[in-house]
Amino acid sequence: MHPKRPALARVTSCNSASLRRMETHASPESDGWRLLAQGSGFVVVEKACGLLRVPGIGPEKADCLVARVATRFPGSRIVHRLDRDTSGVMVLATDAATHRRLSMAFEAREVSKTYHALVAGHVTGESGLIDLPLRKEALGSAKQTGCHEQGRPSQTRWFAESRLAGVPTAVRGLAVPPQPCTLVRLEPLTGRSHQLRVHLLSLGHAILGDNLYAPEPQVNASSRLCLHASTLGFEGANHAAPHPFRD
């Protein structure tokens, strides 16, 4: 089982002159998010693994990032996606005009994003481009699959940062013996659902802790989904939350 709300990584941000730098201790880690920066009409936060970004179906899934952030910043609304079990940087708008502006920037691909992931095994090569169109695996399914004939264009750049003999202590799961893995940096050129998870699987290197796509030994190798949104750049500012995949 994945822990409900692991501690967040230490946060840093690089802000333009129009932003206020925020102290990282200003928001409690135990609430599943922390404030990185506040600008005119938006806030940038780091979301914990295991927290929904918006309410799910049913009262038991009402708790989510936008509801928590709205208690401090009324009117907060989601601009972009980040899966429940993916941690990292998100921007939320706090008024309608900013929401429209930022949503259009994401749609026009004017926003830069990088992720880090721990994947099973040692990746061959140092970098590459995955060009694999994606579609739903089946009607009503949450899973995606590669399909050159019917899929939507999907591209991800990847870079191998380090090859490890075992999973870092901070996210180590139940796998025995130790699971060799690679820390990769990812730059999605498109924004399809589960794009990074399926693209890395297509290389033969599933993300550790991925209970949708990885084989069971690789799910159990980590205490969480080892995918983290490390940076988010928009409107001249870059915001960063270092990945937690280290000893």
Catalytic residues: 83
For residue 170, how many other CB atoms are within 10 A of its CB? 16
Q: What does 81-116 look like in DSSP terms, one character per residue?
A: ---TT-EEEEEEESSHHHHHHHHHHHHTT--EEEEE
Is the Cβ–Cβ distance between 247 and 170 less than 8 Å?
Answer: yes
For residue 233, CA distances in Å to 62, 73, 106, 125 come to 29, 21, 11, 27
Whole-number Å distance between alpha carbons of 52 and 64: 5
Q: Extract the tokens encoding 227.
A: 């995918």
For residue 67, how many other CB atoms are within 10 A of its CB? 13
Q: Are β-strands 227-234 and 127-131 bridged in parallel, bridged antiparallel, or unpaired?
A: unpaired
Whole-number Å distance between alpha carbons of 194 and 142: 9
Q: Extract the tokens encoding 84.
A: 């429940």
Is the Cβ–Cβ distance between 114 and 230 less than 8 Å?
Answer: yes
For residue 69, CA distances in Å to 55, 196, 233 come to 13, 26, 20
